């Protein structure tokens, strides 16, 4: 019988004896996976694995995860402060499906715990999680959620990396209070410094995808432009029906703005990395259906059967090599008077390094956007310029300075002023802008 619970114990030569004691105490109750450097007094068996892993805690966790068989995984420092008696309370939110990761909040006011709480405060600032003790040494996870995180740290900095990446991928994180500890948890100063360095790195120069997805850096930054996204959401909702297909949902920035007004929202996205995030973001909302597919390969007959009345593309059409063929596909699945709502980057003269970084094939003029819609089955009802104020910043960053992403500080300042820009653009008809907004009906 495969145990429902697995316990991973990453150990060092200094903690090997404690790891062995935990393994013996857990025998028959859970699968136990020990991974670390040096000998450990444990006999391997059907539900006990002993693995060699050089490099530290992060390397040990990566070595252990492929051997985990339980649907829930407790990840525990082999420290006498912790007790298996806490496991039932720790995993209960996982059993109740109210969380994907549970952190054991440690009591006490020792100097060690004060240092942990200080690092916890920095972690909250970087990740926006509401955990009091996010760097605790006792945690439980849905195993598939834990495995989905790509861990790169070898040493104790993996504690910070785990929180950063699970928070960014929108997993549900919670914590439970641990009973009074049997001892004060001990970490060497090097462990505190490693975690602090990692937090600073993720707050400044590295995103939660470790800068491996260049376009994701821009998506992540734009996700933080709350006022700007609300502005776009309002524009789309003014024209949106109840059964919606969003093309190119990305990490769900605009999907969040649309879903409350939809009876059904299919969020089509070609990158599995983003679809996994969408599933986490909209877990428990069955009317939002993330759909992994390229536009050219989607099951359009099945989508047509959904009786969609609206298709939304927010800064997506410019990513499609054959935009005319895509628009014809949209027409095939919409009934007469079905709407397509489109926001695209405007003005070919602005095309620069940021466009290249995020995979743009083109920027549009009013004539070129109208042509691709009207020549492929739609009548344009609305075609308007948007975001005049953003135009100079984009030109300087993308064309003159050749930056490949909008600087965070500039974006934050722009977003602070976005409500003013939105109100101003409601009052006047813009002569030009860095984006074009179109509403077209199927004919």
CATH of the domain at 366: 3.40.50.150
Are residues 196 and 297 located together in one domain of the fold?
A: no
My answer on whether 149 and 13 are in the same domain is: yes
pTM exceeding 0.85: no
* Polymer length in residues for the chain: 443
In this structure, are 352 and 433 located in the same domain?
Answer: yes
Asked if residue 262 and residue 113 are part of one domain, the reply reads no
One domain, residues 314 and 355: yes
Residues 261 and 376 in one domain: yes
Out of 204, 238, 268, pick the residue that ends a domain. Answer: 204
Do 327 and 424 lie in one domain? The reply is yes
Give the C-alpha separation, 170 to 288, whole Å.
15
- The answer on 225 and 193 residing in a single domain is no
248 in the same domain as 193: no
Residue burial 58-73, b: 16+ Cβ < 10 Å; e: rest: bbbbbbbbeebebbbb
Q: Which two tokens stand for residue 166?
A: 């699970």
Q: Which residue has the tokens 């109750």?
A: 29
Residue 253 located in a structural domain: yes
Of 379, 394, 382, 313, nearest in space to 348 by CA? 394
Do residue 199 and residue 345 come from a single domain?
no
Statement to judge: residues 42 and 174 lie in one domain: yes
Instruction: Give me the domain span that covers residue 96.
Output: 5-204
CA angle 196, 79, 4 (to 5 degrees): 100
Two tokens, residue 330: 């949209």
Q: Is 287 exposed, middle or buried (0-12, 13-18, 19+ CB in 10 A)?
A: middle
How far from chain centre, in Å, is Cα 97?
19
> For residue 211, is it within any domain?
no
255's enclosing H/E stretch is: helix 253-259
Spatial distance between the Cα atoms of 429 and 4, rounded to a whole number of angstroms:
62
Q: Where are the alpha helices (DSSP H) in 141-247?
A: 143-148, 158-168, 189-204, 214-223, 226-237
Please give the Cα distance from 6 to 27 (Å, whole number): 11
Whether residue 99 sits in one domain with residue 37: yes
d(CA 69, CA 92): 19
In a domain, 294, yes or no: yes
The answer to whether 376 touches 311, Cβ cutoff 8 Å, is no
| Residue 111, in any domain of the structure | yes
Answer with the one of 177, 204, 231 that is the final residue of a domain: 204
Number of domains within the chain? 2
Written as tens digits, the pLDDT of the chain (443 aa) is 446 999 999 999 999 999 999 999 998 889 999 999 999 999 998 899 999 999 899 999 999 999 999 999 999 999 988 999 999 999 999 999 999 999 999 998 888 889 999 999 999 988 889 999 999 999 999 999 999 999 999 999 999 999 999 998 889 999 999 998 878 788 888 999 999 999 999 888 777 777 766 667 667 777 778 889 999 999 999 999 999 999 999 989 999 999 988 999 999 999 888 899 899 999 889 999 999 999 888 999 999 999 999 999 999 999 999 999 999 999 999 989 999 999 999 999 999 988 888 889 999 999 999 999 999 999 999 999 999 988 888 888 888 988 877 776 788 888 888 888 888 888 888 899 999 999 999 99
């Amino acid at each position: 019988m495969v145990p429902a619970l697995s316990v991973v114990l990453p150990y060092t030569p200094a903690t090997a004896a404690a790891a062995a004691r935990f393994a013996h105490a857990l025998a028959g109750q859970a699968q136990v996976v020990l991974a670390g450097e040096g000998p450990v007094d444990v006999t391997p068996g059907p539900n006990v694995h002993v693995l060699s892993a050089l490099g530290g805690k992060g390397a040990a966790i990566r070595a252990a995860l492929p051997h985990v068989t339980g649907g829930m995984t407790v990840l525990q420092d082999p420290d006498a402060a912790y007790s298996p008696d806490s496991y039932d309370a720790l995993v209960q939110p996982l059993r109740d499906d109210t969380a994907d990761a549970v952190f054991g909040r440690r009591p006490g006011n020792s100097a060690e715990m004060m240092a942990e709480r200080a690092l916890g405060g920095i972690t909250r600032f970087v990740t926006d999680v509401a955990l009091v003790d996010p760097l605790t040494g006792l945690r439980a996870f849905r195993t598939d959620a834990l495995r989905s995180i790509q861990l790169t740290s070898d040493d104790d900095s993996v504690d910070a990396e785990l929180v950063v990446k699970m928070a960014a991928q929108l997993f549900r994180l919670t914590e439970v209070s641990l009973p009074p500890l049997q001892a004060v948890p001990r970490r060497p100063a090097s462990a505190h410094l490693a975690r602090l360095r990692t937090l600073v790195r993720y707050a400044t120069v590295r995103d939660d995808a470790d800068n491996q997805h260049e376009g994701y850096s821009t998506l992540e930054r734009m996700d933080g432009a709350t006022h700007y996204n609300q502005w776009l959401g309002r524009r789309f909702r003014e024209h949106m029906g109840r059964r919606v297909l969003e093309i190119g949902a990305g990490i769900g920035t605009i999907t969040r703005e649309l879903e409350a007004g939809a009876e059904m929202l299919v969020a089509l996205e070609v990158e599995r990395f983003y679809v996994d995030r969408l599933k986490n973001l909209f877990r428990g909302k069955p009317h939002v259906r993330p759909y992994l597919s390229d536009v050219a390969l989607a099951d359009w007959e099945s989508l047509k059967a959904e009786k969609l009345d609206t298709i939304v593309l927010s800064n997506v059409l410019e990513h499609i090599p054959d935009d005319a063929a895509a628009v014809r596909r949209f027409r095939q699945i919409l009934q007469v008077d079905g709407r397509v709502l489109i926001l695209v980057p405007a003005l070919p003269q602005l095309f620069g390094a940021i466009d290249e970084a995020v995979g743009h094939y083109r920027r549009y003029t009013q004539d070129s956007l109208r042509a691709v819609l009207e020549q492929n089955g739609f009548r344009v009802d609305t075609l308007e310029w948007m975001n005049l104020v953003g135009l100079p910043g984009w030109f300087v960053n993308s064309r003159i300075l050749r930056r490949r992403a909008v600087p965070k500080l500039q974006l934050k300042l722009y977003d602070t002023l976005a409500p003013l820009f939105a109100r101003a653009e409601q009052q006047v008809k813009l002569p030009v802008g860095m984006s074009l907004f179109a509403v077209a009906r199927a004919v």
